[in-house]
Amino acid sequence: MPNATFSPKPSASPGFVLGADIGGTSTRVAIATTSGEVVAVATGGAGNPAAIGLDASGAVVRSVVAEARAAARIPDPSDGSIVAAVLGLAGVTTLHRETADSFVDHVMGPDGARTRLVSDLAVAYASGTWQPHGIVTIAGTGSGAVEIDHGTQLARRDAWGWLLGDEGSGWWLGREAVRAALSELERGVEPGPVTRAVMTELGTSDLASTIAQCYARTPRALSELAPVVSRALPDPTAAAILDRAARVITARVQELSGERRDLPIVLAGSLVTGNGPLSEAVRERLGTLGFQSVHQAGDGLAGALWLASATRLRDTGGPARQWSALLGSLGDRRRRTPHIET
């Protein structure tokens, strides 16, 4: 069952906006007034169609949207209270137009006409900066970069998935660690830190068993070996793998930006945010290339809510202040309001 944070409906609200972050592990929906106050947050299970199928995804998202509306005391989808909505969904670019429209209509009902379905990269970008136009580069289980303008994808580099691309991703790091190990094992040299770590993780002792163990697993499971690379530092093999990853990640940004060094860059994904193993190297390389406005992605739900809110906020304080206030309101609601099982 979804969880929702409840609050009274403001008595003099000019309307509401809705943002949703639909992921492979959870579906989250927030509703805010057009003055920027978050009034409801609802959480449910996995909603990404790629993970659970389109029909199951639609049922989950519809349920969580309904819980958010109820929490905001606006249960009637036909009353026009939701003036704008943005649903952030991974893999949205692979959906046919008719399928995407049908999905929106199913989960939003009468509000579908006021709803945009955007990619998870678009909401990741909007969670890192208020500026409408810039580049988001992601490096986690997958990897790629996209130029975004007001939530719309203008251009893309990679993010093709593990089979076709995703260079610099967690999966790629794991594969490169295995490849380095296999190279040492077949040459009969003394195994280095990366090779020893790979064999320890796989529970193998030689070339044949290492190859067999990799093929016995699903291809995506190679991403589980990514941490062995950073743990093996300062080993030269590990350093070389991480350097190649940082280079390819920044090269995508450079290619998308051309000569436009004033574009804001948002870093997303566990490898390039926080204490991620590529965070420092990627930031340093971007700085060397002349990019001065580099940000870190935050909560995708905040990004979706901002994309829905950006043209609706009734405030004269400027977009930067409005963006900060909206994200702060979302954070405050999560910290201060208990979740109620419904």
Q: Give pLDDT, residue 24.
A: 82
Place of tokens 């340093």: 284
Q: Which CATH architecture group holds 3-127+299-341? A: 2-Layer Sandwich (3.30)
Cβ-based neighbour number of residue 1 at 10 Å:
9
| Percent of the chain clearing pLDDT 70 (strictly above) | 92
The answer to whether the CB of 18 falls within 8 A of the CB of 111 is yes
Residue 338 confidence (pLDDT) above 80: no
- Same fold across 3-127+299-341 and 170-296: yes
Residue 74 pLDDT: 86
Please state, rounded to an integer, the average pLDDT across all residues of the chain: 89
Range name among 85-89, 131-135, 315-319 with the lowest pLDDT average = 315-319
pLDDT interval class at 315 (50, 70, 90): low
Given CA atoms 272, 273, 277, 283 in this order, what sign does their dihedral have? positive
Question: Residue 161: which pLDDT band, with cuts at 50, 70 and 90?
Answer: confident
Domain boundaries, the chain: 3-127+299-341, 170-296
- Whether the per-residue pLDDT at 177 is higher than 60: the answer is yes
Q: What angle do CA 37, 43, 49 make, to 5 degrees?
A: 120
Per-residue model confidence (pLDDT) at position 314: 63
User: Where is pLDDT greater, at 279 or 15?
Assistant: 279
pTM: 0.89
SS3 for 37-99, per residue?
Answer: CEEEEEEECCCCHHHHCHHHHHHHHHHHHHHHHHHCCCCCCCCCCEEEEEEEECCHHHCCHHH
Of the listed ranges 10-14, 92-96, 139-143, 338-342, the one predicted with least confidence: 338-342
Among the residue ranges 82-86, 177-181, 298-302, 337-341, the one predicted with the least confidence is 337-341
Q: Cα-atom radius of gyration of the chain, to the nearest Å?
A: 22
How confident is the model at residue 168, as a pLDDT?
97
Examine the pLDDT at 10 and tell me if it is beyond 50: no
Specify the higher pLDDT residue, 52 or 217. Answer: 217
Please give the class, per CATH, of domain 170-296. Answer: alpha beta
